[in-house]
Amino acid sequence: MLPQNTQTIETDRLRLRKFTEHDLEALFAIYSDEEVNTFLPWFPLKTLEEARTLYKERYADFYEQPTGYRYAICLKTDDVPIGYVHISEDDSHDLGYGLRKEFWHKGIVTEAARAVVEQAKRDGLPYLTATHDVNNPRSGGVMENIGMTYQYSYEEQCQPKDILVTFRMYQLNLDGQKDRVYRKYWNKYEVHFVETK
């Protein structure tokens, strides 16, 4: 049974909640920073008007659906969004996240993602996947910190940036089926392989 769309979750330091139209400046700060968005599959925002469009298309319209997971990551001290964590609605159940760089290296994304994973498990999602660019190993560190396991790597001509990226795919099975591997990317992309450490 899935929850109502993006119910508020609190952790020791964080409040995870829906974005609102009052968060446009915070959204712009997250999505406009070139360094923050280097490894993400979109170009940084240039204007507040673009942030308004992004809010409507990525958040407001989504929140009209009955279920889902698209959270603003806020510190409890001021409730201002400093990042986001999502689970996609398709069969990948892809976990994604981003955080303003002045808050990096404090365990914030790990804390937020762990809370969302626990919510997804309570709601009965069978598994989650997540991918990261091989040039962004810290993102893989978050995946490992929340219990995800590396499965395989694949090459994709990533759009809209039109660059060739090698992604590492991680997975966490929430329903006890330890041997399940989500193979859609493996089957879709001709170049795929398992890295050995």
What CATH number corresponds to the domain at position 117?
3.40.630.30
Give the count of domains, the chain: 1
Residue 104 dihedral angles phi and psi, to the nearest 5°: -65, 160
Assign 21 to helix, strand or coil: helix
Provide the pLDDT for residue 41.
Answer: 78
* pLDDT of 2: 52
For 167, the token pair is 């992604």
Would you state the pLDDT for residue 3? 59
* Residue 3 belongs to some domain of the structure: no
Tell me the C-alpha distance between 55 and 44, whole Å: 14
> What is the structure's pLDDT at 7?
87
Q: pLDDT value at position 5? A: 83
Say if 1 falls within a structural domain: no
Residue 108: predicted pLDDT? 98
What pLDDT sits at residue 38? 86
Q: Quote the pLDDT of residue 28.
A: 96
Q: Which residues of the chain have pLDDT under 70?
A: 1-3, 197
* Domain with 18 in it: 9-193
* Rg over CA atoms, the chain: 16
Contact of 31 with 51, CB cutoff 8 Å: yes
Sign of CA dihedral 153, 155, 158, 162: positive
Q: Rounded to two decimals, what is the model's pTM?
A: 0.94
Q: Quick one: pLDDT at residue 1? A: 46
